[in-house]
Amino acid sequence: MGKITINVNTLDIEVESGVSVFEAITKRQFPYLDMKIPSIYYLKGVVDVDDSGVCIAEVDGEIVNASRVRVKEGMKVVTKSPALYEARREALKKILKIHNRDCNGCVRCNSCELQELFHEYDFTDEPQLPKENLEEIDLSSKVLVRDNNKCIRCKRCINVCAKMQAVSAIACTGEGLDAVIAPASPAGLAAASCVNCGQCVAVCPVGALSEKDQTDLVREALDDPSKYVVVQVAPAVRAALGENFEFNIGVDVEGRIADALRHLGFDKVFDTKFGADLTIMEEANELLERIQNDGVLPMITSCCPGWIKYAEHFYPDMLENISTCKSPHQMQGAIIKSYIAEKEGIAKENIVTVSVMPCTAKKFERLRDDENGAGVPDVDIVITTNELERLIKDREVRFEAMHHKAKFDEPLGFGTGAGVIFGATGGVMEAALRTAVEKLTGEELENPEFTEVRGMKGIKEASYDVNGTTVRVAAVSGLANANQLLTKVKAGEADYQFIEIMACPGGCVNGGGQPHQPAQTRLVTNVPAERASALYRNDDNAQIRKSHENPSVQALYDDYLGVPGSERAHELLHTTYRPR
């Protein structure tokens, strides 16, 4: 794409040709100027046109929708004027008529894109909507809350669910601010095949969609002296939680998280990197068994519960292709309630396991059948990265003051570099290859990096020659991409031994429970890629980078599980699926 010159607020600037006035000006950032066109519906790749009435500018003397008009050589643009201010204010007034402005009681207070505009356009004491006009809040889903009284009809959720996730659990009838946004089934989201990925929550600019907050359950457990409360933290959380405490995007706050959790009063503070290493031990073993014994191939990863529910709805004939391994935090929960309970001499019934995840789907996963390896639930409570932020702030722990090099507790607090990259698309595949290739060849890898499966592309393919056998693999993120790849596999047009599927585009770093970044930031920064880089740096700096070399995992097999795939390992660490 070439460059052209336009005049913005009397200054000549060079911009990319072919893009909208809004994109051209938002992308062209100046260190010394704050020229910006506001937006509230637009989100890169999700909603390309912002018809909210706030995304306007004066172009050659006329007020136009800046997301619809394309830049032209010599065009004169004004981003700020009394007329624009009034027009934007009028548009916001109309939105206020359908949006219940209850900021203090809203989970998105301080991360809401609309709240910021209300401040900027001087809306101060507007009353909330009259009680008799309020719709009932939809609490029917086990995972999500829908508060239509806050919905501003941007349609980001509709588009992300249909186009990126190929699910279409939310539908829209009507146009503009009179449109009705509702689950595709009158019986609610769950009945509409929602897979709980939370991508709709991640894109919603306001508090109309959120995860079901379970921080009160954590507080209750922590305040109960009869309970032994054990927490574990997923890899992707460390790459994102800092954003909620004013750290830059992509800063790894692993140590601070361990320290903060101790300050919150947990009895043991573990790292799900350990569970990820354990998953690789079982999954690599399962893959080798399938390859060597003519088992069902391609084998597909099972650590993403969004993908699992999608497969149960849309690919019930492929459930045998999915690895029987539980996801890392469920495995770790089962080991806490069995091995750790025995080691520490604590009744498993008195242990409460809490998982801090980037993921909303894990709230559903813990309730699935066959997720209670030790005869009690593997995991009792799942909270997201955003819920952990609320817990830390509520308990008045100063996150910025936490020790950045604090360590997790042994033995389930040690994980390898392979474990930490689970949080990015392609990471599970790379971790599995590090172990499977060494097991197949019997030789140590010179370089443990499989860079072909790294990066934010939706579908990545690679093939490796291992001892004369060609191993073909694919790593996919985003369920529409999974749908595309699996359609080809079923039609015999693509052939792999091993496929990784993660529901969220970019993997767990971009999960539905991760911090919200406004659309204008997401236009100029690839947020999932920045978070993934933090995980790859963590792997680079790890002393041990292969799951099978984790000494704590080795000790667990020696002391308790025997070998990967043993009867006890199956009892505790594997699960089943069913068509829905």
Nearer to ligand SF4, 165 or 550 (CB): 165
Nearer to ligand SF4, 154 or 494 (CB): 154
The least distance separating ligand SF4 from the CB of residue 411, rounded to whole angstroms, comes to 24
Nearer to ligand SF4, 268 or 522 (CB): 522
Pair 259, 554: CB distance under 8 Å: no
Cis peptide before 579 (omega within 30 of 0): no
The token duo for 291 is 């390859």
Tell me the C-alpha to C-alpha distance, in Å, between residue 14 and each of 17, 38, 209.
9, 20, 39
The least distance separating ligand SF4 from the CB of residue 307, rounded to whole angstroms, comes to 6
Nearer to ligand SF4, 306 or 333 (CB): 306
Nearer to ligand SF4, 499 or 502 (CB): 502
Nearer to ligand SF4, 157 or 335 (CB): 157
The least distance separating ligand SF4 from the CB of residue 356, rounded to whole angstroms, comes to 12
Q: Over the range 93-111, which residues count as b (16 or more CB within 10 Å of their CB) and which as e?
A: eebbebbbbebeebbbeeb
Nearer to ligand SF4, 17 or 168 (CB): 168
The least distance separating ligand SF4 from the CB of residue 234, rounded to whole angstroms, comes to 8
Tell me the C-alpha to C-alpha distance, in Å, between residue 171 and each of 51, 210, 373, 528.
19, 17, 38, 27
For 281, the enclosing helix (H) or strand (E) is helix 272-292
The residue ranges that bind ligand SF4 (CB under 6 A) are 151-157, 160-161, 165, 167, 169-170, 181, 189, 194-200, 203-206, 208-209, 304, 306, 358-359, 361, 502-504, 507-508, 511
CB-closest chain residue to ligand SF4: 511
The least distance separating ligand SF4 from the CB of residue 277, rounded to whole angstroms, comes to 17
Task: Give the other-Cβ count within 10 Å of 60's Cβ.
Answer: 13
Contacts of 513 (CB under 8 A, 6+ apart): 198, 201, 211, 357, 358, 359, 360, 384, 385, 386, 387
Nearer to ligand SF4, 203 or 391 (CB): 203
The least distance separating ligand SF4 from the CB of residue 519, rounded to whole angstroms, comes to 11
The DSSP bridge partners found for residue 76 are 7
The least distance separating ligand SF4 from the CB of residue 366, rounded to whole angstroms, comes to 12
Pair 340, 374: CB distance under 8 Å: no
Tell me the C-alpha to C-alpha distance, in Å, between residue 113 and each of 117, 206, 519.
7, 6, 8
Pair 508, 502: CB distance under 8 Å: yes
The token duo for 57 is 């500018």
The least distance separating ligand SF4 from the CB of residue 424, rounded to whole angstroms, comes to 10
Nearer to ligand SF4, 448 or 507 (CB): 507
The least distance separating ligand SF4 from the CB of residue 415, rounded to whole angstroms, comes to 17
Collapsing DSSP to helix, strand or coil, 59 comes out as strand
The token duo for 437 is 């290739």
Tell me the C-alpha to C-alpha distance, in Å, between residue 213 and each of 92, 149, 382, 389.
29, 18, 9, 12
